[in-house]
Amino acid sequence: MNLLPLATMLAGLILAPFLLGVINRTKAVFAGRYGSPLLQAYYDLGKLLRKGAVYSRTTTWVFRAAPVIGLASVVVALALVPISGTPASLSFSGDLVLFAYCLGLVRFFTVVAALDTGSAFEGMGASREVQFSALAEPALILGLAALARVTGSLSLTGIFSGMAGSTWLVAGPALALIAMALLIVFLAENARIPVDDPNTHLELTMIHEVMVLDYSGPDLAMILYGAALKLWVLGALIVNVLLSLLGLSGGAALAGFALGMILLAVVVGVVESVMARLSLLKVPQLLLGAGALSILAFVLIVRFTL
């Protein structure tokens, strides 16, 4: 049995919080600060796992079930994502739909748990989350469908192992459009600027952070860790698309992937440093734009290849 897929999944499980450190360090450099350690996310998780918990009296078992179900489904999503040529631990035709719907299950429970607290703030965040994600989901699935068209495969592993430097020669512009659409979905789904601001805990502008205001201790650790894994899995899609341009293989591909993920984290940090958050009314336009990019990419592929 080939253990490499499991090893890459394990790498994802271990390295995902590191990306948060890279993003924060990038922002610190831009702001002229020294910044928190690169491993700060690990320290936070360790600290939270050692603490007790405080639950709101309004909440029910739904509030406590949400973090475990959310983390479990992100881990399943992680198992479906290949890393630059190495197949995923699990792959079958149509797994890209399961991938998107696992993230949907996470969202369902995060939103329901937010409503469980009965807080106006969390309801507000929940309301925004479902609106934006309803628009991000078509962009993600149509983007993946366009990639399926390029490679003729319906599984994420098949798609990314079927892509090579030559694919870019044929369908380069389309792939660039898909990468752009995926980047927008990535920023929106991970609650990053320009859609959401992960730093403003007590502002009316926030979406994801406000929904988890009432969590503490191990529950909050699971949520933070789940968010880091989500950053990893959606980021891996973009890095896989772009990395196929270089046509690396073996150890070089894995090293390239690691560098690519760090670079992506730096890009997120740069975007957060140089851009302001969009007005909430503008966000749907951005997400619909991402969907339009995916469709345009598909049309380009159908028109100019095969």
Partner 1 sequence: MTWMAGALGVLFGGAFLCLATAGRPAWTRTVGPTVTVLGCLLGLVPVGAALSGGAAPAFCLPWSLPFGSLSVQMDALSAVFAAPILIIAALAAIYGAEYLRPFEAKKDLAASWFFFNLLAGSMLLVVVARNAVLFLLAWEIMSLASFFLVMFESEQPNVRRSGWTYLIATHIGTAFLLVLFPLLGHQGGTLDFAGFSLADPGPRLATAAFLLAVIGFGTKAGFMPLHVWLPEAHPAAPSHVSAVMSGVMIKTGIYGLVRTLTFLGTPPPWWGWVLIGIGAVSGILGVLFALAQHDLKRLLAYHSVENIGIIALGLGVGVLGVSYDHPVMAFLGFAGALLHVINHAVFKSLLFLSAGSVLHASGTREIDHLGGLLRKMPATGLAFLVGSIAICGLPPLNGFVSEFMIYVGSLSALAGAPGAQVGVLAASLIAVGSLALIGGLAVACFTKAFGVIFLGEPRSDHAVHVHEAGPAMRIPMAVLAAACLVIGLSGPLAIQFLAPAVGLLTGGATVASACPAWATEVFWKITAVAAGMVVLAALLALIRSRLLAGRSVTDAVTWDCGYAAPTPRMQYTASSFADPITRLFRVFLRTRRRFAPPSGLFPAASSFASETPDVYRERMYRPAFSTVENVLSRFRWLQHGRVNLYILCIVLALLALLAWKLS
Binding to partner 1 (CB under 8 A): which residues in 120-139?
120-124, 126-128, 130-131, 133-138
270 binds partner 1 (CB under 8 A): no
Residues numbered 185 to 214 that lie near partner 1 (CB under 8 A) are: 202, 213-214
The piece of 9-17, 53-61, 259-267, 271-279 that touches partner 1 (CB under 8 A) is 53-61
Token pair of 171 as six digits = 């369908």
We find the least distance from the C-beta atom of residue 155 to partner 1, in angstroms, to be 9
The single residue among 119, 157, 167, 190 that binds partner 1, judged by CB under 8 A, is 119
Rg of the chain over all Cα atoms, to the nearest angstrom: 19
The single residue among 20, 45, 142, 175 that binds partner 1, judged by CB under 8 A, is 142
Mapped onto helix, strand or coil, the DSSP state of residue 84 is coil
Nearer to partner 1, 34 or 303 (CB): 303
Main-chain phi, psi angles of 256, to 5 degrees = -60, -40
Residues numbered 73 to 112 that lie near partner 1 (CB under 8 A) are: 73, 75-76, 79, 90, 92-94, 96-98, 100-102, 104-105, 107-108, 111-112
173 binds partner 1 (CB under 8 A): no
Cis check: omega of the bond before 198, within 30 degrees of 0? no
At a CB cut-off of 8 Å and minimum separation 6, what does 89 contact?
Answer: 5, 6, 9, 79, 80
Nearer to partner 1, 2 or 274 (CB): 2
Report d(CA 270, CA 282) in Å as an integer.
Answer: 21
Nearer to partner 1, 22 or 141 (CB): 141
Residue 287 contacts residue 188 (beta carbons within 8 Å): yes
Amino acid at 166: S
Nearer to partner 1, 8 or 151 (CB): 151
Nearest of 189, 221, 192, 197 to residue 52 by alpha carbon:
221
Residues numbered 27 to 46 that lie near partner 1 (CB under 8 A) are: none
Report d(CA 189, CA 41) in Å as an integer.
Answer: 19
DSSP-derived letter for residue 83 is B
The single residue among 55, 246, 247, 266 that binds partner 1, judged by CB under 8 A, is 55
Residue 36 contacts residue 21 (beta carbons within 8 Å): yes
Residues numbered 149 to 168 that lie near partner 1 (CB under 8 A) are: 149, 151-154
Nearest of 210, 205, 211 to residue 279 by alpha carbon:
205
Build a one-symbol-per-residue string for 230-269: x at contacts with partner 1 by CB under 8 A, - elsewhere: ----------------------------------------
Tell me the angle at which helices 95-116 and 120-151 cross, rounded to the nearest 10 degrees.
180
Nearer to partner 1, 4 or 62 (CB): 62
The single residue among 56, 164, 267, 270 that binds partner 1, judged by CB under 8 A, is 56
